Amino acid sequence: MIRDFLVWMATELGKGPGDTALSWSDALASSLNFWGLLEGTHVLTLILFAGTIFVVDLRLLGLVFRKTPVSVISDRILPLTIFGISLMLITGLALFYAKPLVYYHNLWFRIKLVFLAIAFINILWFHFRVQRDVAAWDTLERPPARVRASAAISLASWILVIFFGRYIAYDWINCGKPLPDWINVAQECRTSESGAVNLRGDLLQ
């Protein structure tokens, strides 16, 4: 059902009359200059967002700016964090919209989404549970264990989001190539346009 929706979104949504008319998704993907601008903006805003998050996380771990209250660092950096994550999400959704089926059948993208979900769940946990008693540890050089645990999860999650996101650009495990069965299954290659091919070179039905 998800794939059927993505097929419609990629091929039909916004498509005009005529055989040569492009859907909005195809038009966006084929716009070389705008695509490059979109991709570049996504990477830069991800760096901005991750950079601000890393500074706060390292402070929460007690590794940097240990004499500065957490609230001071957080308040100074928060506007940049909000700006970065807003543009990052907008450009990320636009990139996905341009090539939804390519990303849907990409294992790196799927793993990235898992760690992205972990990162956002951790943000909610931190703000609604861990941060409730911030006054008690705001000025501590080494915050309590639960604070440091949340910071460690955040740091690791965003590093892995960036790591797996970078691999999306490579076609090493694209559907249609000879791949281990588990990768074909994980990417749902049998339902892709390229199909699933095992390591022996056999097209799987």
- Tell me, what DSSP letter sits at residue 203? E
pLDDT of residue 202: 67
Q: Which single residue is written with the structure tokens 């089926």?
A: 101
> b/e map of 137-148 (b: 16 or more CB within 10 Å)?
beeeeebeeebb
* Reported confidence tier of residue 205, pLDDT bands at 50, 70, 90: low
Question: What is the structure's pLDDT at 110?
Answer: 94
- Rounded to an integer, the average pLDDT of 140-161 is 93
* Confidence band of 141 (pLDDT split at 50, 70, 90): confident
Average pLDDT over residues 150-155: 94
Task: Give the whole-number percent of the chain exceeding pLDDT 90.
Answer: 38
What does the buried/exposed string (b/e) look like for 30-56 if buried means 16 or more CB atoms within 10 Å of the residue's CB? eeeeebeebeebbeebbebbbebbbbb
Q: Residues 143-164: what's their mean pLDDT?
A: 93
106-140 per-position pLDDT tens digit = 999 999 999 999 999 999 999 898 888 888 888 88
